């Protein structure tokens, strides 16, 4: 996580950095809905920084209905494999430790506003 806009998520907004499966499990098994940001390579993918800017705005718009974390560069591939989400940047939503849905790539604001309430209404499979 070397890009300043991604680092801002952890320094200014206090989002935890998920470094390993234990961090992921601890974060996603808490009560409520959790959004894990898989940034991808900010140097090669300009959408990464766009999503990094939009994520805090989404959290504020949805009045804290979900909390957020960021995967570390070293752990990113493992999270993509665990969630079957391979397009980055991606927002992966979890409840009860299980993925609910994801929103890959940057989207129009209206797409987020339409999709996130649907995700928040989902129940975790097998929970």
What local confidence, expressed as pLDDT, does residue 123 receive? Answer: 81
52: confidence class by pLDDT, cuts 50, 70, 90: very high
Q: Does residue 60 have a pLDDT over 70?
A: yes
What local confidence, expressed as pLDDT, does residue 125 receive? Answer: 57
- Report how far residue 107's alpha carbon sits from residue 97's, in angstroms, rounded to the nearest whole number: 25
Q: Does residue 56 have a pLDDT over 70?
A: yes
Q: Does residue 127 have a pLDDT over 60?
A: no
Q: Say which CATH superfamily domain 4-120 falls into.
A: Glutaredoxin (3.40.30.10)
Cα dihedral: 30, 83, 18, 2 (round 10): -140
Query: Where in the chain are the domains?
Result: 4-120
Nearest to 8 by CA among 76, 62, 56: 56
| 44 Cβ contact list (under 8 Å, min separation 6) | none
What local confidence, expressed as pLDDT, does residue 124 receive? Answer: 63
């Amino acid at each position: 996580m070397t890009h300043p806009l991604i680092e801002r998520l952890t320094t200014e907004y206090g989002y935890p950095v998920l470094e390993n499966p234990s961090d992921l499990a601890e974060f996603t098994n808490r009560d409520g809905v959790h959004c894990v940001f898989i940034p991808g390579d900010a140097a090669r993918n300009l959408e990464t920084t766009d999503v990094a800017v939009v994520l805090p705005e989404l959290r504020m718009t949805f009045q804290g209905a979900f909390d957020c974390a960021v995967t570390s560069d070293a752990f990113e591939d493992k999270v993509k494999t665990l969630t079957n989400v391979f397009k980055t940047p991606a927002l992966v939503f979890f409840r009860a430790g299980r993925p609910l849905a994801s929103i890959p790539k940057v989207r129009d604001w209206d797409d987020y506003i339409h999709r996130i309430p649907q995700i928040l209404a989902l129940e975790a499979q097998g929970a």
